Chains A and B, each alone.
Chain A
Amino acid sequence: MSQPTNPMRRSASTATGHGIGGAQTTSAGQPSQAPPTSGAGRPTNVAQPAGVPTVAGRLGDATTFVRRAMSGTPGRLRILAALGIVVSLLFGVSAFSTFGSTNDALSRGEANTAQLVRIQAIHTNLVRADADATNAFLVGGLEPPAQRADYTRSMAQASQLIAEAARAQSADGPALGALNSSVLSYASLVEQARATNRQALPLGAQYLRLASSGLRSETLPILDALVNANQARVGAEFDNARSESGALIAAGVLALLVLIGGMIWLSLRTHRYINPPLAAATAAILVTLVIGAIALSAVGSRVSQVRTGSYAATLATAKARIAAFDAKSNESLTLIARGSGSAFEKAWKSSSTVVADQSAAAAKLSSDATQMGALWTTYVDTHKQIRAADDGGQWEAAVGQATGNGAKTANTTFDAFDSSSGAALTSSSSAASASLEGPRTWLPFAAWLGLLVGIAAAVSAWWGVSLRLEEYR
């Protein structure tokens, strides 16, 4: 569409008639002096010097045109058509945006949940590696190869997950960078402890203590910060996914009010009870609104279910596992400290309480987590035997039970808890992910469909009103 180059042409082109606009338009640059009047039939175009476009003139023209187009019954019809088009399109756009942003919020909620699970897996791997390193150290002489392999595997998984987590969430980048460097210094201290230990020097123990205390004072707080940040993000996205339907309902109700009001006005004016295109537009918006609102509330309740169900179970299981490995490390550190490890035993007790509480919470939420509590109690019994032996002066016997692989040893009972809780974590986190994934198959489709309904309703509204407008020609 070419822009009008001066007010004369503009008024000429629009004033000439409805519909086939521009048929009598004079070519640009040749202003017609006296434009023909028509339709509303009010003489216009008061003394305006030809070919001298001024701002005042332009404004005056526009105002005049609008006043003329909107006056009388045809004018009111035009206003009705315009309103119908605006509210219909607004509804379409709201539907598109509501379904689209619900989909986006679900997608981000799922991504953040995955990131949270990833961060907790990093945490688990690190405390697991530390439990291996400290336990292997208790065994006199060379460390058991299986334990060494488990340490290496845990560290490798942790550093792989750090890279994956950094790729998945850029906001976590700086914290993951700090985490990476502190994991590096932990690993190098453990290696130095090993190398020194291999030369049969007591200095190795000091390097190991330094590694473990650095892990707890420096590395784990970064992980806690990452867990908190991602938990907050998951919560925010779950809130977003549940509370999107407001705009859709507001726009839908507005559109219905305008269209129904228009139909009533038309029926009063024209003595035709029903304007089929307008009625069709109203019905389409009503159906879309009802179905959309129901579907969105279903998404909302599904999100609430995930939040209090499989997502909560995932969080509880992960917390239980982290606390469990921390307790296992502290058990070894208590024995390494040999008589002055009361601080480590205190830490064991608080970790063990966390494991029991979180296992109970997880068992209520997920049928896969019901074994965790009982298996932990079995390990706790073994731990109590170890403590009783150590406190009774049987340090060697305590170390034997803490490092051996027999039926009543800490390693065996702990492994049972580890494999059960690991399976529970996998099942609850994939259940959470699947539940969030479900609505995402139809939400994008619903968004485009909603937009189409809005456009179709707009066309229909214009069509319905223009049928009546024709009668004024």
Chain B
Amino acid sequence: MSLTSRGVLGSAFAALAILVTAGCSNGGVYATTQIPTPAPPSSTTPAPSATSVAPPAACNPLASFAPTGANPAPGAMPAGSYMATIQKRGRLIAGVSSDTLLLGARNPLSGRIEGFDIEMLKAVSKAIFGDPNKIEFRVITAAQRPAVLKDGSVDIVARAYTMNCDRWQLINFSTEYYLAGQKVLVAKGSTAKGIEDLKGKKVCAPVGSTSMAKLKTFPGLVPVGSDTHTGCLVLFQQGKVDAITGDDTVLAGLAAQDPYAVVVKAPAFTQEPYGLGIAKKNTDFVKFVNGVLQQMRTDGQWAAAYDTWLKGALGPAPAPPAAVYGRQP
């Protein structure tokens, strides 16, 4: 009997051990929570290759439509014209940049968007309404410029918009209101004298800009795309790119925001004539705007706007770019 019960007890304890461990195994031990792998941020992805359309032969990118006589008086836009549509709406809708210091940037203190590009829009607003501030700003990126004109969500684009024959295929331009040129911005103390000295370095430019198209023509550089030039400056400050390329006007605005960034002294390696972008169908509005620009060139408004925004960064005012007409619809 004693051995029998010992055997029974033994097997019972074995059963107990099995049950207790069965009850406790896996209890509270869980698979480690998986960490999702984030998609790489779009701002540092290399820019897609340029899809340039061959420009048609015999194209003068500077030639716009000549104004037909004097512009109508403010508040009296001719019926049926696109200006009458704008006047009826009560405001001019403009595509602008809110972060290109000197050209078009939001002033963090006042919250207002201001700059040299914006002065052009104010003159157009004044010519339509007699009030320079009847403007609704739509902040857009460089790549969005043709699309917002095409779908009619803005009347006009004033956003350092380089006139070229490719773009004339899609939209209309006013006459040239400023001649910028592409330069390169590097860190203070860099030995680079020009863009040729940046072989093997990462250089940033906004996607969809002429700066990016030009950047890709330099062999040996690593182009990096971003949404805007300010996005490039963030990458530059974070050490993710070595240099930024863009128009001298834009780079001056970037350098003004970072004491460790300097624009290389070498002369500009492109010519970037700025025009105001207008939808292809609104030729009458182009002629009207050209009339406004012509007025600005002659009555000193243009020089006043230059002195306010660009003189400090780019030196004394040059002569305003002359209007070139002769485009046939």
The residues of A with any CB-CB pair to B shorter than 8 Å are 1, 14, 18-19, 21, 65, 69, 78, 81-82, 85-86, 89-90, 93-94, 96-98, 100-101, 104-105, 108, 138-141, 169, 171-175, 178, 196-197, 200-207, 210, 213-214, 217-218, 221-222, 224-226, 229-230, 233, 247, 337-340, 393, 395-396, 399, 458, 462, 466, 469
Contact = CB atoms under 8 A, between A and B. Distances in A.
B28 A104 contact: yes
A175 B34 contact: yes
B106 A205 contact: yes
Given A78-B1, A86-B8, A174 B24 contact: no
A229 B35 CA distance: 11
Contacts of A90: 12, 15
A206 B99 contact: yes
Contact of B138 (A78, A98, A339, A466): A339
A93 B19 contact: yes
28 contacts: A85-B12, A86-B11, A93-B16, A93-B20, A97-B23, A104-B27, A104-B28, A108-B27, A108-B28, A138-B111, A140-B109, A141-B111, A171-B29, A171-B30, A175-B33, A201-B257, A202-B107, A203-B258, A205-B106, A210-B43, A214-B41, A217-B38, A222-B35, A247-B19, A393-B91, A393-B93, A395-B136, A395-B137
A337 B93 CA distance: 15
Interface residues of B, number: 64
A340 B31 contact: no
B191 to A, nearest CB: 26
B97 to A, nearest CB: 9
Say whether chain B's binding surface is mostly helix, strand, loop, or mixed: mixed
B31, B35, B41: most-surrounded residue (chain A CB, <10 A):
B35
Interface string B217-242: 00000000000101101100000000
B107 to A, nearest CB: 7
Contact of B27 (A18, A101, A139, A214): A101
A105 B28 CA distance: 8
B19 A97 contact: yes
B53 interface: no
A207 B236 CA distance: 12
B328 interface: no
A21 B230 contact: no
A202 B8 contact: no
A86 B12 contact: yes
Nearest to B89: A393
B4 A69 contact: yes
Interface stretch (B56-64, B139-147, B274-282): B139-147
A218 B38 CA distance: 6
A267 B198 CA distance: 105
Given A89-B16, A175-B32, A202-B106, 10 more contacts: A78-B1, A78-B4, A90-B12, A96-B20, A104-B24, A171-B31, A202-B101, A213-B41, A247-B19, A340-B144
Contacts of B36: 221-222, 224-225
A192 B220 CA distance: 33
A206 B38 contact: no
A217 B101 contact: no
Contact of B30 (A65, A214, A233): A233
B39 A217 contact: yes
B57 to A, nearest CB: 36
Contact of B111 (A19, A98, A399): A399
A18 B4 CA distance: 11
Given A97-B23, A175-B35, A221-B38, A85 B30 contact: no
Nearest to B111: A140
B5 A85 contact: yes
Say whether chain A's binding surface is mostly helix, strand, loop, or mixed: helix
A213 B95 CA distance: 23
A100 B23 contact: yes
A140 B114 CA distance: 14
A180 to B, nearest CB: 12
Contacts of A217: 38-39, 41
Contacts of B144: 340
A101 B30 contact: no
Contacts of B257: 196, 201-203
A171 B28 CA distance: 10
Contacts of A82: 4-5, 7-8
A171 B105 CA distance: 48
A221 B101 CA distance: 35
Contacts of B32: 171-175
Interface in B246-266: 257-258
A247 B22 CA distance: 11
A14 B3 contact: yes
B326 interface: no
Nearest first, the 5 closest Cβ-Cβ pairs linking A and B are A339-B138, A140-B111, A89-B12, A393-B136, A101-B23
B22 A203 contact: no
A141 B108 contact: yes
Contacts of B141: 340
Contacts of A69: 4
Given A89-B12, A207-B234, A338 B138 contact: yes
B108 A174 contact: no
A14 B230 CA distance: 95
Contacts of B137: 338-339, 395
B98 interface: yes
Contacts of B15: 86, 89-90, 93
B49 interface: no
A217 B20 CA distance: 45
Contact of A201 (B27, B31, B38, B108): B108
Nearest to A229: B33
Contact of A203 (B19, B33, B233): B233
A392 to B, nearest CB: 9
A173, A210, A224: most-surrounded residue (chain B CB, <10 A):
A210
B298 interface: no
Contact of A339 (B2, B29, B35, B136): B136
B8, B15, B41: most-surrounded residue (chain A CB, <10 A):
B8
B5 A205 contact: no
Contacts of A1: 6
Contacts of A178: 35
Given A140-B109, A224-B36, A202 B98 contact: yes
A433 B24 CA distance: 23
Nearest to B134: A393
A100 B93 CA distance: 72
